[in-house]
């Protein structure tokens, strides 16, 4: 993904940079969010797809 100072504000560029820096907390948060969205056992998985979580069969 490419970002440019011609199409993004300094704040947007800084935020993007922080998400890519493994020493920054925003990086960890971004990875955790992605992980949650890829895990069908997590509510965020279903919400990110606009679906309701199916009820567990007993």
The confidence score (pLDDT) of residue 3 equals 72
Distance between CA 43 and CA 52 in Å, rounded?
9
Q: For residue 53, what are the contacts with CB-CB under 8 A and spacing of at least 6?
A: 43, 45, 46
pTM: 0.59
The confidence score (pLDDT) of residue 1 equals 57
The confidence score (pLDDT) of residue 17 equals 87
Mean pLDDT by 10 residues, the chain (58 residues): 79 87 89 94 94 85
């Amino acid at each position: 993904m490419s970002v440019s100072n011609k199409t993004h504000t300094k704040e947007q560029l800084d935020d993007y940079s922080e998400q890519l820096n493994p020493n920054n907390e925003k990086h960890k948060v971004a990875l955790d969010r992605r992980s949650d969205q890829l895990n069908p056992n997590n509510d965020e998985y279903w919400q990110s797809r606009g679906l309701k979580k199916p009820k567990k069969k007993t």
